[in-house]
Amino acid sequence: MRDLPVLPGAVETVEGLAQRWPLAVASSSNRPLIERVLELLGVAAAFSAIVSSEEVTRGKPAPDVYLEAASRLGVEAAACAAVEDSSNGLLSARAAGMRVVAIPSASYPPAEDALAGADVVLRDLSELTPEAVASPVRPG
């Protein structure tokens, strides 16, 4: 696990959110890679659905991967929140009609127009709490 580029607090954040909601991964990575990373981090059981862009017709920024993830969870996309850091991911989640939580990467920040579509913009993963995901107000 030492070689994985994992954000500090990622495992704890996933575990905390999974106690409140069913979670899904909607990723542009391929399924074997997604599954392996989740397994190595010890959080695979926290996810009820995994969808790779390879499994849908169109990849991000199209909404397909997010719509499929919602479908596999058995919920409407509008009842879901998506956590994203990339321009294509933010655009994809917004196009799917989901609540969009942005955590911009300092190394690869999303485009301003993509970020502007987020419902919530957080500074880092430590702010990704159930309250931040559910809050209707953009944090200061």
Position 57 scores a pLDDT of 97
Q: What's the number of CA atoms in the CB half-sphere (13 Å) around residue 36?
A: 7
Distance between CA atoms of residues 131 and 110, nearest Å: 24
Q: Is the dihedral of CA 77, 54, 85, 9 positive or negative?
A: positive
The predicted-structure confidence for 8-46, as pLDDT tens digits, reads as follows 889 999 999 999 999 999 999 999 999 999 999 999 999
10-126: CATH topology is: Rossmann fold (3.40.50)
Q: Is the pLDDT of residue 1 over 50?
A: no
Strand ranges (E), 13-66: 23-27, 47-52
**Domain regions of the chain by residue span:** 10-126
Position 39 scores a pLDDT of 95
DSSP classification of residue 8: T
